[in-house]
Structure 1
Amino acid sequence: MRRCVAAVVLLSLLSGGLSAPLSRCDSLVKPITLSKEDLLGRWLYIGGTSNLPGSRSVIHLLTSVWVNFNATAQSNVLELIQSQRIFGKCSSITFNMAFENSTLSLEQPFHLKEVYLPTSCSDCLVVYEDVTFGKDAFTSLMLFSRRQSVSPDVVEAFKTQAECLRMLTPIMIDTDYEICPVDASPTDGLSGIQAVTSLFEATMGIGVGLGLLDSFFDTFVN
């Protein structure tokens, strides 16, 4: 079940050069300003892409994901709850992250930085995240919405953003699914940070094999 956690750590900041027209990419990948209030509440996962080994395999297997941002007693700290369904079973993780200057971040036990990109969808959230674990760095791009599905135009714009960032084509999940309940069991009985850390440790040990698995799913699934 630790593989489920990969779906939430699928995030990215700008990487190498751009393949779409530069002028178009400039407007699509420039981070936007969001307030804490803009983030609060539940967001349903629509699709994403990441270079974290094994992440694309997990996205192909996921049938439901949502995240919920809650305010805490500290003005610059948000509680993040994520629930996901894989192989028919729901599980969840919970942990706190700092939110300042339109950036969500975590410094220990690994570095995570998340920013948000433009979208024409008024109730959508396009997320870029950069994660560093030891000497390894990963990037991801995700699309969330307050609704269970979005228009084809929104999906195409999201895919263009991935192209501008030289990322693999995003994998969109089937939107005809049952949303996991709020009280889903914690992943593997671990705290959120412990679960994500365990995922990274396992990934580093079998990175090449997971990369091959990703290629298999991209070729033969969906």
Structure 2
Amino acid sequence: MKCVVVLLSLLSLGRSAPLSSCDALLKPINISKEEMLGSWMFVGVSSDIPGSRSLFYLLSSVWLNVTPTSKSNVLRIVQSQKVLGKCSSISYDVIFENSTLIIEQPFYLKETYLPTECADCLAIREDITTGNDSFTSLLMCSRSRSISPAAVEMLKKQAECLQMSAPIMSDPTSELCPEDITPTDGISFISSVLEAKLGQKFAKFLDTIFDTFRS
């Protein structure tokens, strides 16, 4: 009987270990407004938004610049990306309070920050709600073009904890878009992508095809 009790205890510990590890990996950390400001480059991303993985495979590079506004709790983000060799730029304002970034309308986005092995990186969890749909994205931004293997492995483990696909990592040698591109309204653009429900099944199919050929 004692052997059975010991065995059950060991099995219980074995099951709880991954959960405890995920609790630590997904526990939000504190980020100040000052730490958010400046230029960042996307180096890795995973998302369950239909079609997002296909888009990320087509992206050559993405970088963004975060600046303060006249409102103490509002930041402005200008994001520039190169898709199939063509550059474009979008801008949008966000609320930033208590280490949390929020967009309230016309969709709801909450961004929190997770532990990372990279000193000049942000590991970002985004929870998005639009209508009856909810999505999750996991991103890694860095002040530099590349990050350490340890930071990549940690990001992959965080994706596993969120039951998401492995992150797509960017090419650190790809050319960045210039800073002089006039940005368009980013909120309208993001909203149109999230509300494009008619193509979700086809978008998911494309994601599968891209993952198959790029794996």
Is the TM-score greater than 0.5? yes
Shift of 1:61: 0.8
1:213 aligns with 2:210: no
Q: TM-score scaled by structure 1?
A: 0.87
Count matched residues: 201
Choose 1 or 2 for highest CA Rg: 2
| Distance across 1 between alignment mates of 2:187 and 2:22 | 34
Residue type of the alignment partner of 2:190 = V
Q: Which residue of 2 aligns with 1:58?
A: 55
Residue type of the alignment partner of 1:78 = L
Q: Which residue of 2 aligns with 1:13?
A: none
Q: Which residue of 2 aligns with 1:133?
A: 130
| Distance across 1 between alignment mates of 2:210 and 2:17 | 26
Contact 1:19 1:166 in 2 (8 A): no
Q: Which residue of 1 aligns with 2:82?
A: 85
Residue type of the alignment partner of 2:27 = K
Question: SS at 1:21's partner residue?
Answer: helix
| Distance across 2 between alignment mates of 1:120 and 1:199 | 32
Residue type of the alignment partner of 1:191 = D
User: Where do 5+ consecutive residues of structure 1 fail to align?
Assistant: 1-17
Question: SS at 1:125's partner residue?
Answer: strand
Contact 1:54 1:210 in 2 (8 A): yes
Shift of 1:79: 0.3
More helix by share: 2
Q: TM-score scaled by structure 2?
A: 0.90
Contact 1:20 1:160 in 2 (8 A): no
Q: Residue 161 of structure 2 is aligned with which of 158, 161, 164?
A: 164
| Distance across 1 between alignment mates of 2:65 and 2:110 | 18
| 1:185–1:90 Cα change, 3 Å | farther
The sequence identity of aligned pairs, in percent, is: 54
Shift of 1:201: 2.5
| 1:80–1:20 Cα change, 3 Å | farther
| Distance across 2 between alignment mates of 1:137 and 1:102 | 22
Query: CA RMSD for the aligned pairs?
Result: 1.5
User: Where do 5+ consecutive residues of structure 2 fail to align?
Assistant: 1-14
Shift of 1:185: 4.2
Residue type of the alignment partner of 1:30 = K
